[in-house]
Structure 1
Amino acid sequence: MFGSSLSFVVRSLFDQSDRPFLLMFRDKEEAAYYLNDLEQMVGESDVLFYPGSYRRPYQIEETDNANILLRAEVLNRINSRKKPSLIVTYADAVFEKVITRKELEKNTLKVAVGDQISIDFINEVLHEYEFRRVDFITEPGEFSVRGGIIDVFSFSNDNPYRLEFFGNEVDSIRTFDVETQLSIEKQKKITIIPNVENKFFRDKRESFLDYISKETVLFIQDTELLVAQLDKLFSKAAESFEKLNATVSHVSPEELFVDRKTFLSQAELFTVVELGSNASFEAKENFTFSIQPQPSFNKQFDLLLSNLSENRSNGIRNYLFSSNETQAKRFHDIFES
């Protein structure tokens, strides 16, 4: 399949299904390409991106906070049992094991408007979650207390929460903008979760395939290339582990990461759709699409018009898709002139 044709197929299947979808690609760039497509077609609320959290194994100081936030959002969404979502990911992300569902449930603070709960209790819980108390919050993992107001930046949401208390009762909850401090949206209930990549949870982990529902449909873009990347990453992790300080206890690569053998054995428990000509799993059905790559027009609109006319002569109906209205109007004006 070429270009955005896969996105159209996945969107159509997702619309007709009541099951979660997990799309796995070879690398981050390829995943981002399809993520952009699917956010436009399906809607951002139902499409989630699950990235890797750090650049090198055992280099925790190199973790990417933005990616940790995205990973936590996905885990939280799966646990919330909301409408099934479409998750886009890649080899480096599924390589890392995650906190178990049981541990995440145990370390999730749920707060709703009207709850009887003290500020001191929330303060204590946030310290247990290793949140930092600051004067003004700017990033996930921070909180502040001013009188009867708690601001907290959970790892489960893009924006921080502001909780206002009347005595020991939660009077209101809303999200707000870090820069302007202005309210964004009122909330009836929220979940506050810690950094799920924290070393505190490192000995209680499972693979991402273990974490998700077995009802999930897996779409894998070239399985052999994906597992080859897992092999490469695991070898690097083992190499880094050997170089670590022997006087300090470290968790082994087998407990933190997923190798080829583990991935393939766990994937067999799911409904798998392999994308590509070489199958790694036994296929019950094969589907062939008569799709050709778009010719290269090199910004020469006469070549584009010629191609569209040729298609029409051959009984092919042409559809042109634009990412925004301005682009669509530009095409309209070009064809009209």
Structure 2
Amino acid sequence: MNLQVLLGLYQNDIRLKQIAAGISLPDPRVRIYLDNLRGSAINFIATAVWQLSDANHVFILNDKEEAAYFHNDLEHLTNALDICYFPDSFKKTGGFSELNSSHVMLRTEALTKFSSEKVHKKVLVTYPEALFERVVNPKTLSGNMISIKVGENLKVEQLMEKFVGLGFRREDFVYEPGQFAMRGGILDIYSFGNEHPYRIELFGDEVDSIRIFNPETQLSERKLLQVSILPNIETKFETKEKISLLDYLPANTVIWAKDFDFTYGRLGKLETDLPDKIEIGTVAVDHEEEWLKELTREDFESPERWLSQLKSRHLIEWYNHSLEKITGDTITASLQFATEEQPVFNRQFDMLIQDLKKRCDQSCTAFIFAENTKQLERLRSIFEDLNAEINFTPVPTSISKGFIDHEKNVVCYTDHQIFQRYHKYKVKQAYTRGKALTIRALKELQPGDYVTHIDHGVGVYSGLQKIEVNGNLQEAIRIIYRDNDVLYVNINSLHKISKYTGKEGSPPRVNKLGSDAWEKLKNKTKKQVKDIASDLIRLYAKRKASQGFAFSPDSYLQTELEASFFYEDTPDQSKATADLKRDMESPSPMDRLVCGDVGFGKTEVAIRAAFKAVGDSKQVAVL
């Protein structure tokens, strides 16, 4: 039995088939309670109903963190692309002074997917603070969307004027949403509706190709036939162009909530606190991006208006019983399930083994979920070392909380709860400043700074300059060499340039273009490196010939220790640990130094090595 078979158990549940049939019809409006759902059981129920129906679904959790975990679970169970996370727009939840540009992009992406009445099988996961903000109406959003497709003829000057009118800024190159750049026959545009920017290559006025590219490397990732460019939905549109999210969503959208009463109360609290948070008409600004916006009370939702719109939808509640109270409607069905939370084992594997054996004796099928397949291998290794014959199905994906379903006779445990590890949700970041590191470093260079070109040597940075290449203007980096020789470097070759680093206070010697001095210096350096390498090889050969102590392979205790660490290993930690163990288990003397910045996990690698040494009755010195 695998994950698909497990999901099939829920799809075949007659109660869920009845829910799917009920929400597929516009009338009568269903009002359903789902009782006794523990752990991530609700996500399996939601996945089954989503798969059984063509309706759209909105899930309202109580806060940002719950929504993010719920969103992750749905993504992992369905592998669907149309599971949208819909956060609030601001950097501080409940504070309205600074926009979060990543959240703005995620909201734009979600609204774009729900902008048509013919939309079906889309999912949106959100929470009260995000519902509190009104959104631009779909007609206005569509009217301000610019579509570009391959083979189309563009009036470039008019198009760039339109970009400026939509709030985009022209830059030398793009690395953040809301920017565009024109270099010769290449138009780069960073839309607010996509994670990465687009590169549009023109042949004259005709669109020759469209690609998504990485803003850090400037390299293309994949081709597209058509793109839609979207402005900043939070700052571009007037208050009168905004509506409630419930008004925006298509008619075939089902609203699920963990607790409708909590959501309604939270909206009321946000409305009450609004005058204390901001003075009407003051400016909310992202100080880094310089996005300006005036806020009024009409930019936000009132709980009464939200409640009146809610009543026209199919409604499902799975935690509290507040639907009847806040809507005044009769409940269509109250469905009882038989689930319980995953037990707490406190990393006691004897308890885990006893529990799983008891469940198997009761004809239960055990599933253990882990994002990292190594954790599943460690678990199996621990069971084998303890001579425990435990049959479980490993599932190489994660869910936030384990549970037991007594009706389906399934046990779904998570590795992070077994080992008491911290499990962090992952939300797609629209962009990060790290993605534009190379470009930002270039922008921080000042004319007069020394730079090194890998082919031509040390020169003086002289700024950016537009030059004509084959009749087209292109942006280039200008570097001055000895005797005022000038080298122009296309920004697509940024990887060949780096800021010069050398002795403090002593300026470097600037190279001359066309001279062989730089090439001779590189060859001399290569020879010195080879000489050092030869000396090291001779030293290592002598060391290899000598005999050392070979430590034993990992024991059950070593495996248990490593599985109990609070955080998952990074790829670099895993590689360092594997290299270190290979050295320790070799009969040759070990000579290894683990290096890394503060907080990068060197201590965890050292603890593994120390534990391995002590396990073979050797001493460990801690300085």
Aligned residue number for residue 220 of structure 1: 257
Candidates 296, 305, 309, aligned match of 1:266: 309
The verdict on how the C-alpha distance between 1:220 and 1:332 changes in structure 2, with shifts beyond 3 A counting, is same
Does 1:252 find its partner at 2:296? yes
2:107 matches 1:71: yes
**Within 1, Cα distance between the matches of 2:59 and 2:176?**
29
Q: Is the 8 A contact 2:56 2:121 kept in 1?
A: yes
2:221 maps to which residue? Answer: 184
Question: What whole-Å deviation, never above 9, does each CA across 1:41-69 have from its counterpart, x for those lacking one?
Answer: 11251211100001367845x00000000
Match status 1:331 vs 2:367: no
* Stretches of 4+ aligned residues off by more than 6 angstroms: none
Specify the alignment match of 1:50 in structure 2.
Answer: 86
- Report SS of the residue matched to 1:269: coil
> By how many angstroms is 1:243 displaced?
6.4
Q: Which deviations, in whole Å up to 9, do the C-alpha atoms of 1:102-138 show, x marking residues without a partner?
A: 1101100011101111211220110010101111111
The aligned residue for residue 9 of structure 1 is 45
Deviations 1:236-281 (A, max 9, x none): 2233455656xxx96531x211122122211111111111241324
Contact 1:118 1:169 in 2 (8 A): no
**Secondary structure at 1:302 match in 2:** helix
Within a 5 Å distance, the mapping from 1:165-314 to structure 2 comes to 165-198=202-235, 200-242=237-279, 252-253=296-297, 255-281=298-324, 282=329, 283-314=331-362
| Cα distance in structure 1, aligned partners of 2:204 and 2:378 | 59
Q: What is the CA distance between 1:20 and its match in structure 2?
A: 1.1
User: Is the partner of 2:200 in helix, strand or coil?
Assistant: strand
Aligned mates of 1:65, 1:74 — CA distance in 2: 14
> Bigger CA drift: 317-326 or 80-89?
80-89
Aligned partners of 1:223, 1:97: CA distance in 2, in Å? Answer: 19
1:19 is aligned to 55
Whether 1:28 and 2:60 are equivalent positions in the alignment is no
RMSD of aligned alpha carbons? 2.0
Deviation, 1:167, is 1.4
> Does structure 1 conserve the Cα–Cα contact (< 8 Å) formed by 2:199 and 2:212?
yes
TM-score (norm 2): 0.51
Question: Aligned ranges for residues 102-141 of structure 1 at < 5 Å?
Answer: 102-141=139-178
Shift of 1:290: 0.6
Amino acid at match of 2:140: E
Give CA-to-partner distance per residue, 1:317-337, whole Å, 9 cap, x none: 322222232222222222233
Q: What is the deviation of 1:202?
A: 2.7
**Shift, 1:84, TM fit:** 2.7
The whole-number CA distance in structure 2 between the counterparts of 1:87 and 1:37 is 13
Distance 1:56 1:37 in 2: 23
Identity %: 34
Provide the rounded CA distance (Å) in 2 between the counterparts of 1:64 and 1:133: 21
State the Cα distance separating 1:94 from its structure 2 match.
0.8
- Distance in 2 (CA, whole Å) between partners of 1:244 and 1:98 is 18
**Following the alignment from structure 1 to structure 2, what is the Cα–Cα distance between the partners of residues 198 and 112?**
27
Q: By how many angstroms is 1:203 displaced?
A: 2.7
Per-residue deviation at 1:301?
1.4
State the alpha-carbon separation in 1 of the partners of residues 261 and 368 from structure 2: 34
Q: Kindly report which structure 2 residues correspond to 1:88-99, keeping only aligned pairs within 5 A, or say none.
A: 88-99=125-136
Code of the residue aligned with 2:380 in structure 1: it is: H
Question: Which runs of 5 or more structure 1 residues have no equivalent in the other structure?
Answer: none
Aligned mates of 2:369, 2:225 — CA distance in 1: 39
Which amino acid in structure 2 is aligned with residue 264 of structure 1?
L
Residue correspondences, number:
333
Q: Secondary structure at the match of 2:370?
A: coil
1:58 and 1:237 in contact (8 A); partners too: no
The letter of the residue matching 2:107 is R
Rg larger in structure: 2
Residues 1:158 and 2:201 aligned together:
no
In 2, Cα distance between the equivalents of 1:136 and 1:83?
37
Secondary structure of 1:318's counterpart equals strand
**Structure 2 spans left out of the alignment, 5+ residues:** 1-36, 283-292, 386-623
Q: Compare 81-90 and 160-169 and name the one that shifted more.
A: 81-90
Q: 1:56 to 1:279 in 2, by over 3 A?
A: closer
